[in-house]
Amino acid sequence: MSATVVTITSGKGGVGKTTATANVAAALAAEGHKVVCIDADIGLRNLDVILGLENRIVYDLVDVIEGRCRLRQAMIRDKRLPTLHLIPAAQTRDKSAVSPSDMVRLCNELRHEADWILLDSPAGIERGFRNAIAPADIVLVITNPEISAVRDADRIIGLIEAEEKGPARLVVNRLKPEMVRRGDMLAIEDVVELLAVDLIGVVPDDEQVVVSANRGLPIVLDGKSRAGQAFRNIARRLQGETVPFLDLESGAGFFERLSRFLRSGGN
């Protein structure tokens, strides 16, 4: 076994990194892959609550790195998805407790034991971000179709390239098709054109994401949710499958269709 290390990052906080990590991890595990997710947001741990594993934490990432426990002891196994594991972040320490080379060493040790290692990066461009991308084979950048999130995503994409971890792959989260239709939200094509990177996922805004977080149940386990479907598609694309993007613009308004028709020269 030799795992692929996928780091999920964003620049701006609050765009859905942790939700994306939890759900892509759960989707891969639901397909039978052995997945270890690592919460690299030291001091602001959250992946544990999103996955509903907060009551089972004994040891954390910093305990492993500082040798207070063995790697296996810090891996919490999800009872609903037996191939899904979490290494939680330390809550009472800060980012300086871990270095990029610590993360590389930890992931190299884990590579033999898993198919996928998913790293949830903290927001920002400092130490925590550098820790999270150091071991990455693939970096996913999450953004929202909002001006500040796109700007920060651009900055982070540049830094990922500078660290020779690029090209980053883009996930646009919390898209509101209705607002795009009204001309009040950047469309996917606009975001992709501005950032000039390949798209790996488009996740519609979905209230069920909040509900599933409340319950500590990944939304990919909900067969009816559109967001869940979008995350399952990201998991498949990570494995190299070609999966068409969800048609979020179906039922586009009259003007959009007319203007698209005119732009395309009536073809």
Partner 1 sequence: MPDWLNRLLGRKPDSAVQAKERLQLVLVHDRTDLSPAKLAELKDEIIEAISRHIEIDPQAVQIEISQEGREQRLIADIPLRPRRRRGR
| Interface with partner 1 (CB under 8 A) | 146-147, 150-151, 154-155, 157-158, 161, 180, 182-187, 190, 194, 196-197, 255-256, 258-259
Tokens for 56, please give them: 């089972």
Print burial letters for 253-267: b (CB count within 10 Å at least 16), e (below 16).
Answer: eeeeeeeeeeeeeee
The stretches of the chain forming alpha helices (DSSP H) are 17-30, 47-50, 61-65, 71-74, 100-111, 127-133, 147-162, 177-182, 188-195, 208-215, 226-238, 254-263
CB-CB neighbours of 201 under 10 Å: 24
Angle between helices 188-195 and 147-162 (to 10 degrees): 40
Cβ at position 194, least distance to partner 1 in Å: 5
| Strand pairing report for 138-143 and 169-175 | parallel
Task: Name the DSSP class of 78.
Answer: P
Cβ at position 150, least distance to partner 1 in Å: 6
- CA angle, corner 93, sides to 120 and 114, nearest 5? 35
Q: Which is closer to partner 1, CB of 95 or CB of 169?
A: 169
Q: Which is closer to partner 1, CB of 74 or CB of 150?
A: 150
Q: Which is closer to partner 1, CB of 44 or CB of 125?
A: 125
Q: Which is closer to partner 1, CB of 69 or CB of 196?
A: 196
Cβ at position 196, least distance to partner 1 in Å: 5
Cβ at position 230, least distance to partner 1 in Å: 21
Q: Name the one residue in this structure whose structure tokens are 């990919």.
A: 220
Q: Which is closer to partner 1, CB of 49 or CB of 125?
A: 125
Cβ at position 76, least distance to partner 1 in Å: 38
Q: Which is closer to partner 1, CB of 104 or CB of 179?
A: 179
Cβ at position 127, least distance to partner 1 in Å: 21
Q: Which is closer to partner 1, CB of 184 or CB of 207?
A: 184
Give the DSSP H/E element, type plus range, for residue 116: strand 116-120
Tokens for 171, please give them: 């996930």
| Strand pairing report for 84-87 and 76-77 | antiparallel
CA pair distance 185, 89, nearest whole angstrom: 34
Contact criterion met (CB below 8 Å) for 97 and 65 = yes
Cβ at position 119, least distance to partner 1 in Å: 23
Cβ at position 183, least distance to partner 1 in Å: 3
Q: Which is closer to partner 1, CB of 81 or CB of 197?
A: 197
